[in-house]
Amino acid sequence: MNNMMFGKYLPLDSFVHKLDPRLKIGSLLLLLIAVFFDAGFIGYALLGIFVIIMAIFSKIKVSQIVKAIKPMLFMMAFLMIFNLLFIQKGNLVFSFWIIKIYDQALLQTAYIFIRLVLIIIMTTILTATTKPLDLTLGIEHLLSPFKKIGFPTHEVAMMISIALRFIPTLLEETQRIMKAQASRGVEFSEGSLKEKIMSIVSLIIPLFISAFQRAEDLANAMESRNYNPEAKRTRYKQLHWRLADTLSFICVLIMCTTMVVMSIVL
Amino acid sequence: MSIQFKEVEHIYSENTPFSYHALKGVNLDIKEGSMTALIGHTGSGKSTLIQHINALLLPTAGEIHIGDILISATDKPETLKPLRKKAGLVFQFPEYQLFEETILKDIIFGPKNFGMSEEEAIKVAKDTLKLVGLDESYLERSPFDLSGGQKRRVAIAGILAMNPEILILDEPTAGLDPQGAQEMLQLFKKINQQGKTVLLVSHDMNQVLEYCDDVVVMNKGRVERHVTVDELFKETEYLTSLSIDLPIITSFILKLNQGGFDIDPSIKDIDELLKVIGGQINE
């Protein structure tokens, strides 16, 4: 459980770490849209190089990127197999019994693979270089125009940051309870189905109880500090848009425009 | 049962930016039937150390012998159940491990996992509940209706009911009232006198002085001292350097000695101290 890389913040000191979270979230959105323009292999190669440069600038190691992709492999394999079998356009390249594979299917599957890998790497770069709190701050800023139409931006951002804040706490709690029950003779990986269900019950009930307890404590703590979501608030942490942010944003825009232009021309 | 650590190392999340070297070359030999205190600051490796004793954590290097069971980085016992039955570990705030509908069911959960029959487990549960100071009327109540201190007692009963040969307690009295803390410690002492090895993590030096024979001091992942309690409290300078307070009675004797008395600082009992003071005043 500790080995989960996807969505984890890496406390490093890099160029990308220092960029404004608004820029990083905005760029990710633009690049995610750009990924879905069919810009041909040259376009994807360009985007791939761009993503690799981003990864280098954020000091993320190759092994960490591989770790982030690994849990998605099953889903990717599933998607790829279905695409291979069900797209029936172009010339037949391989046929066996009821399995028929067409060249268009191969092409589309390759595209899907490339797109998924790029998406995972880009998302990992965002979450690995941005502290969860900065992330929510960025989201709140980006959502603020919607406040005018009555969208509760602050509440949403608060909920996201509370949820993010408690993920590691709950993981820790899970491990603690698992260990406590293991000391009482529970084996989480062995035993019959009935024993396995019982061992899960011995984990889930204490976990729920402590989660509710924490929620109550947190609510009381916020209440006693007179928390009011509608109040106008100032922030300890201010976001500063710097020259590096503008330059990075221009790079991202150029990349996205290239993808769009290539997809129209080709 | 004896506990032996040989050059044990433990590194959390090795080869990641989060890597943390928690145990550094730990050598330790805890004798069968002793009552040993484990002291040291938060983050000194106490919790990591005790989790090795029933193989909840495996060492990164080195070996651990629990009786004749060997735990090392490469070979761990094929099944951990026999080991975990022998070494009962009570975590800090054990009340969070309660989950059954009734207290009885929760106490017999451990013993049943280790293969005890239901009838026998129920009998043991009744006995242990009495040991921890709750009467039989509690058996059918829900553990979640109890007060914090009572929950603690039930959780500890759940481990005691397994009848482990080694009892490891991680700050079992944190958050209990003084009266309750004393009762629990007296219980652990009684279990120790029945021949069980007891390892007690504690921050309260008064408890260490009153109840333990030996003491292990951990600092920054290393075992720095493994001596008798009397010997440890003689090393006042060392303890000050770790900012560990002396037991109240010991620091009182040292102050008296500064004022001209000549009292043996290893005295643990107030009545005995009073007698010595009285004798010296008369002289």
Task: Confirm whether pTM is higher than 0.95.
Answer: no
On whether any CB of chain A is under 8 Å from the CB of B110, the answer is yes
Q: Where are the beta strands (DSSP E) in chain B?
A: 3-12, 20-30, 35-40, 61-66, 69-72, 87-90, 166-170, 197-201, 214-219, 222-228
Rounded distance, CA A130 to CA A7, Å? 10
Tell me which residue has tokens 């919607």: A146
Give the mean pLDDT of A12-41.
Answer: 90
Q: Which residues in A have their CB inside 8 Å of a CB on B?
A: 2, 10-12, 173, 176-177, 179-187, 201-202, 205-206, 209-210
Q: Please tell me the predicted confidence (pLDDT) of residue A185.
A: 87
- Is A103 or A77 the better-scoring residue by pLDDT? A77
Confidence of residue B76 (pLDDT cuts 50, 70, 90): low
Q: Which of A177, A183, A186 sits opposite B89 (nearest CB)?
A: A183
> Residues of A with CB below 8 A from B88's CB?
183
Q: Tell me which amino acid residue B208 is.
A: V
- Long-range contacts, stretch A216-220, CB < 8 angstroms, 24+ apart: A218/A162
- The lowest-confidence range among A46-60, B67-81, B133-147 is B67-81
Q: Which of A177, A182, A201 sits opposite B56 (nearest CB)?
A: A182
Q: What is the pLDDT of residues A189-233, one digit of tens each?
A: 777 888 888 889 999 999 999 999 999 999 999 999 999 888 887
Look at residue B120 and tell me whether its pLDDT is greater than 90: yes
Distance from A120 to chain B by nearest Cα, in Å?
A: 20
Tell me which residue has tokens 């706490």: A169
Q: Please tell me the predicted confidence (pLDDT) of residue A1.
A: 43
The residue in chain A having the minimum alpha-carbon distance to the alpha carbon of residue B107 is A184
- Strands ordered across the beta sheet of B61-66: B20-30, B3-12, B61-66, B69-72
Q: Tell me which amino acid residue A257 is.
A: T
On whether any CB of chain A is under 8 Å from the CB of B13, the answer is yes
Rounded distance, CA A259 to CA A47, Å? 8
Q: Please tell me the predicted confidence (pLDDT) of residue B148.
A: 87
Q: What is the pLDDT of residues B214-247, one digit of tens each?
A: 999 999 999 999 999 989 998 888 998 988 888 9
Domains of chain B: which residue ranges? 3-235, 247-283
Look at residue B281 and tell me whether its pLDDT is greater than 90: no
**Mean of all residue pLDDT scores within chain B:** 90
**Mean of all residue pLDDT scores within chain A:** 87
**Token output for B149:** 């201190």
Look at residue A3 and tell me whether its pLDDT is greater than 90: no
Q: Please tell me the predicted confidence (pLDDT) of residue B155.
A: 94
Q: What is the pLDDT of residues B11-50, one digit of tens each?
A: 998 877 778 999 999 999 999 999 999 999 988 999 999 9
- Is B78 or B15 the better-scoring residue by pLDDT? B15
The residue in chain A having the minimum alpha-carbon distance to the alpha carbon of residue B170 is A180
Look at residue A2 and tell me whether its pLDDT is greater than 70: no
- pLDDT over 90, % of chain B: 60
Q: Which DSSP symbol is given to B140?
A: T
Burial class from Cβ neighbours inside 10 Å (0-12, 13-18, 19+) for residue A62 reads: exposed
Q: Please tell me the predicted confidence (pLDDT) of residue A171.
A: 87
Maximum Cα–Cα distance for chain B, whole Å?
67
What's the fold here for domain B3-235? Answer: Rossmann fold (3.40.50)
Looking at the predicted complex, does its ipTM rise above 0.90? Answer: no
Q: Please tell me the predicted confidence (pLDDT) of residue A6.
A: 60
Distance from B114 to chain A by nearest Cα, in Å?
A: 6
Q: Please tell me the predicted confidence (pLDDT) of residue A40.
A: 83
> Residues of A with CB below 8 A from B81's CB?
185, 187
- pLDDT over 70, % of chain B: 98
Strand partners, B222: B219
Q: Which of B13, B84, B91 sits opposite A185 (nearest CB)?
A: B84
**Token output for A62:** 């190759």
Q: Please tell me the predicted confidence (pLDDT) of residue A231.
A: 82
**Token output for A261:** 């232009």
Q: Which of A183, A206, A209 sits opposite B56 (nearest CB)?
A: A183
Give the mean pLDDT of B48-71.
Answer: 90
Q: What is the pLDDT of residues A129-184, one digit of tens each?
A: 998 888 888 988 888 888 888 888 888 888 888 888 888 888 889 999 999 999 99
Q: Please tell me the predicted confidence (pLDDT) of residue B7.
A: 92
Confidence of residue A66 (pLDDT cuts 50, 70, 90): confident
